Amino acid sequence: MEIPEVFREDSMADLLRLLLRVAEKAANVARVCRQEAPLFQLLVQEKTGDDKNKKFVQDFKTLADVVIQEMIRHDVGVKFPEMADFINGEESNKFENGLGESVTVTVCATEEDTAALLASVLDGDHTAASLLARAIHQDPASIKADTDGLTVPLSPSELGIWIDPIDATSQYIEGREEVLEEGRLFPSGLHCALVLIGVYLRSTGEPVMGVINQPFNYKDPAGGGWKGKHFWGVSCGSINVCSETRPKAGPAGGLSAVLSSSEKPVVKEALTSLCGPDKLMFASGAGYKILCVIQGLADVYILTFKWDSCAPHALLRALGGGVVDFHKCLQSSSGAEAELTYHQPRTECKGADRWANHGGLVAYRDCSQISRIIAPLKGKL
């Protein structure tokens, strides 16, 4: 007798392998869109109404965002149908073409049908539509990840997924190239654009699995174009496994932080005093800044605005860290009760705001760092 998917002990390992694969497919789509520069310029459109992120003067929605989100939704839903109604993304899948027609972007059963749908978005540009459809339906190269023997006492029917298709959209659009060096934070560039897939427990909102794909990690010197890098983590009870090792502790008493350059002046001033000007760094992309904490390039990241952090949160938990609500920390003596969860929308809000982190966040590797970071900011915000 065949064992149902939800009762298989290795179903969580299967889910992780699937998410790594669809994240690489997403990275391929992101790379294809950048390679076709004229197409890319035509497809960028400004977010409006309820879907507009109010932090940025110009916050863009690209067709790549929508295609990636719907591709992940489709592929996960086919393999794990019990999760289909709990796969969430911050992007609306309604896209407007040049004729003013609204088209609902979905992934169809065949490459040809997907190409036909995309052609209606692209004002009949069948060449571009076929190129995108091929990337969507093409299986990526095999992803190497040591998931053998990974057993987690959860079934997919208990879980939901959060997708951030291309975080740091502005860096993706600008397209500045950097040659990354091990152990060094690079504040801006294509490498800041990340595909983020986070898995949370429906009952509590706890993040239990995260996959991060960095589509533009390095350029193949042999002329093969951009190559990516992936990161993953699982955190459930006593099970904590991560593709990254926990970074070695820095010098005693030293503390480094990474912020957005648009952060509030009072936060910058307080952390400059606490960390010193050499240890306060700035970078683009909320996902990339949390990745810097995961990799040990910074000890903490503070965001006083709002963002979905489910995927990197799971990796930090697997390394003994976490992500807490910034404003709740300001109001309490301990950050333990302020851990972010991902299962309850704010019913008074609309669009992407329903699921945004309204209290801001602090991402950390060591919980003892929370009080040190929060103390100089109390009473100032």
Residues annotated as catalytic (active site), given as ranges: 65, 90, 164, 166-167, 169, 308
Torsion over CA: 221, 143, 133, 112 (sign): positive
Terminus-to-terminus CA distance in the chain, angstroms? 61
CA distance 86 to 106: 16
Q: Looking only at Cα atoms, what is the longest distance across the chain?
A: 65
CA distance 270 to 73: 42
139 annotated as a binding-site residue: no
Specify the amino acid at residue 14: D
CA distance 129 to 55: 32
Of 233, 232, 235, 210, residue with least CA distance to 311? 210
Edge-to-edge strand ranges of the sheet holding 225-236: 87-89, 159-167, 194-201, 207-220, 225-236, 239-242
Of 115, 87, 29, residue with least CA distance to 106? 115
Strand ranges, E, within the chain: 45-46, 60-61, 87-89, 94-96, 102-104, 159-167, 194-201, 207-220, 225-236, 239-242, 257-259, 280-282, 300-303, 322-325, 361-364
CA distance 348 to 200: 22
125 annotated as a binding-site residue: no
308 annotated as a binding-site residue: yes
Is the distance from CB of 61 to CB of 47 less than 8 angstroms? yes
E strand or H helix that includes residue 371: helix 368-374
Q: Which residue(s) pair with 275 in the sheet?
A: none
Residues tagged in the binding site annotation? 90, 164, 166-167, 308
Residues tagged in the binding site annotation for Mg(2+)? 90, 164, 166-167, 308
